[in-house]
């Protein structure tokens, strides 16, 4: 049986031609294949954020979403202050 080779954009164009219900089924199927790995990684990230906050005398659970975002941003960029 011959193999049809398509680039990513061609595949997306074909998917977009599917009825909405079939697109949703395809999305659910793709997500379910990746859910386990994503869920584990997400949990590890949350635990690391809690520990980083505790190491700095903060309680992750008491922080608002905005405070959490600011805290993560500071963590990501704190090595820049050391190099500057």
Confidence of residue 80 (pLDDT cuts 50, 70, 90): low
- Taking only the tens place, the pLDDT of each residue in 16-55 is 999 999 999 999 888 888 777 877 888 888 899 999 999 9
Contact 23, 17 (CB under 8 A): no
Mean pLDDT of the chain: 88
57: containing domain: 8-83
pTM of the model: 0.50
**Phi, psi dihedrals of residue 71, rounded to the nearest 5°:** -60, -50
Contact 23, 12 (CB under 8 A): no
Whole-angstrom Cα distance, residue 54 to residue 68?
Answer: 13
Structural domain count of the chain: 1
Task: Let me know if residue 2 belongs to a domain.
Answer: no
What integer is the mean pLDDT of 58-75? 93
Whole-angstrom Cα distance, residue 45 to residue 42?
Answer: 5
In 1-84, at which residue ranges do the beta strands (DSSP E only) sit? none
């Amino acid at each position: 049986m011959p193999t049809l080779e398509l680039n990513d954009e061609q595949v997306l164009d074909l998917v977009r031609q599917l009825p909405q219900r079939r697109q949703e089924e395809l999305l659910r199927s793709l997500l379910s294949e990746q859910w386990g790995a994503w869920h584990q990684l997400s949990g590890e990230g949350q635990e690391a954020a809690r520990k980083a906050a505790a190491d700095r005398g903060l309680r992750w659970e008491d922080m608002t979403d905005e405070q959490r975002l600011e805290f993560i941003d500071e963590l990501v960029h704190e090595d820049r202050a050391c190099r500057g």
